[in-house]
Amino acid sequence: MSQDVVAAALDDAYSVSLFHSWTGSIDQIWVKQQFDLPREDRWHGAHLAESSVHPLPSMPPHHCTDQSGEPGPSYERLPHFRMQFTPSSGDEIQSEYFVAREDLVSAMTAVLPLAERIRPLLHVSEVRTVAADQLWLSPAYERDSACIHFTWKRLPEKVEALLPQIEAALTPFSPRPHWGKVSTIAPEVVTSLYPRLGDFQTLRDRLDPDRTFANDYVDQFLGA
């Protein structure tokens, strides 16, 4: 997909997810929008699925939230997976990097040369977007963001060996890793991307002087 097509697709509904496996094309597009908008059988060159699908072809689609197009409450439609079922594969490692929205295609193009190494370790990748916010430690702080997500097979040593190369390819785009997913970017590099970190630390010192909410992982990034 070209940069213009990707941008248009991501802009064209309330929630859009592009699922792919680093082949240079998109396998599935999940579109979630207000119920009073018209439903299209073809959408940016993609055709409507004939039945429910799962992002991972090996997984049963009934694990996923309703795909019939019938209106429903946002808490049932916006998640990809039903609460009572296993999300994604259930046996996985996840990584995700936030880059500026306008850099998405360039960032993915930079990673694409690693595709032959990525695919054997991958369940699926997802691209989504997040609006800029004013939350000091949000990966989308003051930057409309595109998220480049990887759901990895549970092969921790191989994934950990590959991540530095993916992160090096993304370095020109100042990637902010998801706080709750696996990354090997050095803490001092990550924290340099958050201009209000000092303000957060001051607030943290005042509200949590005994570090009730601290742990070894958090201390690497936020200081003890």
pLDDT in tens, 77-110: 888 888 777 667 678 999 999 999 999 999 999 9
pLDDT in tens, 167-178: 999 999 999 999
Phi, psi of 51 (to 5 degrees): -155, 175
**pLDDT tens-digit readout, 144-155:** 999 999 999 999
User: What is the DSSP code (8-state) at residue 145?
Assistant: E
| Alpha carbon distance, N-terminus to C-terminus of the chain | 45
- What's the CA gap between 44 and 6, in Å, rounded? 9
- Find out whether 18 and 25 touch, Cβ atoms under 8 Å: no
Tokens describing residue 216: 């070894």
Phi and psi at 94, nearest 5°, equal: -125, 140
Output the pLDDT for position 42: 65
Residues 6+ apart with CB under 8 A from 144: 100, 101, 102, 129, 130, 131, 132
Q: Identify the pLDDT of residue 63.
A: 81
Q: What is the pLDDT of residue 167?
A: 98
More confident residue, 134 or 26: 134
Q: 1: pLDDT confidence band, cut at 50, 70 and 90?
A: low
Does the pLDDT of residue 205 top 60, yes or no?
A: yes
CB atoms within 10 A of CB 204: 16
pLDDT at 39: 63
**What is the DSSP-derived secondary structure letter of residue 146?**
E
Note the pLDDT of residue 112: 96
Report the SS3 class of residue 86.
coil
Percent of the chain exceeding pLDDT 90 equals 61
